[in-house]
Amino acid sequence: MTLRLGDTAPDFEQDSSLGKIRFHEWSRDSWVVLFSHPADFTPVCTTELGLTAKLKPEFDKRNVKALALSVDPAESHQRWIKDIEATQNTVVGFPIIADADQSVAKLYDMIHPEQSTTATVRSVFIIDPQHKVRTILTYPMSTGRNFDEVLRIIDALQLTDGYTVATPGNWKDGDDVIIPLTVQDPEVIKQKYPKGFTAERPYLRLTPQPNK
């Protein structure tokens, strides 16, 4: 199955390091960062899970739940978590899906045969509270993910969901945003963007972030 942006994230029921999870029920009313790992007890994954654990306050502020996945059983995850906590100086409070039968990995197209026929690539799915897939990122097995970028994407998605704006390249929270080309009526512009705007070109109109 190939997922695309805007698709409903497939529901599933699977064991995890914190017990059985039915995904849509578990994630209800929250954003989710679902991210896969090639295997337990691997060095890059250990650092990534440690970073995710340390970001819990940032995820909480954004109403985000983290959910990891590896194609190893729950007992292996629980042993690995001890290593993660010891080496990364943190507490892993989020579940790691035990996808030993690869059913979730196949649902989300996380196994790329040219990379491995058994291990998942480093996929990231950002899923909104309506279970819609909003972002898909795929990293090679050897490259650790940038979790600052994951937070930045969530900030941008939540901002553009709440306001009629788009975000420019390298945007971060607090920077100016873009008035979309779909908004042309001067009266609507005055109402929606009371802080005004600057126009480098008629199609490039920057306005201060509306919720700041």
Which residues carry out catalysis? 45
- Angle of helix 43-54 relative to helix 74-88, nearest 10 degrees, comes to 70
Closest to 115 in 3D by CA, of 194, 188, 39: 39
- Categorise residue 166: left if φ over 0, alpha if ψ from -120 to 50, beta otherwise: beta
Closest to 113 in 3D by CA, of 101, 104, 105: 105
